[in-house]
Structure 1
């Protein structure tokens, strides 16, 4: 039975997770100062997602589109003697679809693989520059010698499938009346934590089932860690703007996760990933379900 002490401890873990994600931003500036490549990639990430894509959408929605509608209203009034609001709205809708199809979507999809490369480089620099490198150096070398390339690829693909299915689960949960929105945000908080810590854990040689088991066992901390970013990306009505916010903020989260020390929870394990793991195991018949119960020690 869950007692008051357990609930209080869970709330403390959530607050600590949120605190680590926010205050963990400061090591980013140290990393930027020391590493020219990281500084360049952080700037490029901001320019691509925050300026080229995000700012262009805002300028179109709040400047260009209203100007086009005003001009169309003036032209229709001059030619016809009166303006038709339906024609002006239709013109605005067509213009919006053209802008989205010819600019937003191409840039959005091109930016995704570019962002992934930048995120990987930033994570690598953060891990190599931390004290944890010396702690895991032996395990890294032994792991890299013993694990085959095929197993590494399988683990990566398995992780991608699980995260994709969990994203779909978060969207479906959001359809539940009344509480759906909040449950979906909490799901996204957990998913963002997994995204952030995954780079560090993969460098430490943890397989996907171990990573998920750790999150499910200490879910209050990881809910808190990903909650600020989940709230920020949930506020905009535009999926593209939410993606831009995520892409700009995520490099900071990678470094925060690298410096963070997750707090253990006294509450029972919350099997958030059970359904997606079962589905993934069906898709990957050669995966080892028993490894899902592997014990992981917090560092």
Structure 2
């Protein structure tokens, strides 16, 4: 990761120069810290709801196992690349845009981790995952996947897969939870101000 240039995921249809400018102009003051903290809280909520979604799909008859496999592959792939994106200080919106725009790549990247869960006993699968997951994190961190994907996208021009809203349900639930807490905080502030005026 100690390269001279940083790797920033390329969103589906944005200019590369604006990404680099966003990376350099990221605020470092208290407001920037608060934005970073809020982004982390939102990320934890989003991934928690996505994990619940993955868990729930396992109970769907007939197609549940296949959908569960796919969602787990995306979850492991996201976790592996998240270390790299945190180190490069890539914003959550850019991560999700890049991930959802290149969903086929990430499904393939996370699949080997999930195969261990589906084909081995729980004890053996935990052992295999304890070996595989750190190796995949290192692979994701040291890879130039973003550059390779953007190079191939330029070569193929019009022929590409569309964006798939993988995190739509988790995103919607996270926003509702955050808006609920925001509403509660605002009502508490209003009550405090009303009690001070009386």
TM-score exceeds 0.5 = yes
The match for 1:250 is 133
Equivalent-residue separation in structure 2 for 1:248 and 1:195 (angstroms): 15
Asked if the contact 1:191/1:226 (under 8 Å) is kept, the reply is: yes
Equivalent-residue separation in structure 2 for 1:134 and 1:193 (angstroms): 17
**Superposed CA offset, 1:135-171 (max 9, x none):** 9999766436256222212211211221121111112
**Superposed CA offset, 1:168-208 (max 9, x none):** 11121122222211111111111111101112122222222
Higher helix residue share = 1
How do 1:48-67 and structure 2 match up within 5 A?
Answer: none
TM-score under structure 2 normalisation? 0.68
How do 1:37-56 and structure 2 match up within 5 A?
Answer: none
RMSD of aligned residue pairs (Cα, Å): 2.9
Equivalent-residue separation in structure 1 for 2:101 and 2:21 (angstroms): 27
Equivalent-residue separation in structure 1 for 2:4 and 2:126 (angstroms): 32
The match for 2:12 is none
Residues 201 and 282 of structure 1, relative CA distance in 2, 3 Å threshold:
same
Listed as ranges, the gaps of 5+ residues in structure 1 are 1-126, 288-299
SS in 2 for 1:284: helix
Asked if the contact 2:55/2:68 (under 8 Å) is kept, the reply is: yes
Equivalent-residue separation in structure 2 for 1:279 and 1:168 (angstroms): 11
Q: Which residue of 256, 261, 271 corresponds with 2:165?
A: 271
Equivalent-residue separation in structure 2 for 1:231 and 1:180 (angstroms): 16
* Higher RCO (CA-CA < 8 Å; seq separation 6+): 1
TM-score under structure 1 normalisation? 0.47
Query: What is the Cα deviation at residue 212 of structure 1?
Result: 1.4
Asked if the contact 1:139/1:205 (under 8 Å) is kept, the reply is: no
Query: What is the Cα deviation at residue 134 of structure 1?
Result: 8.9
Structure ID, larger Rg = 1
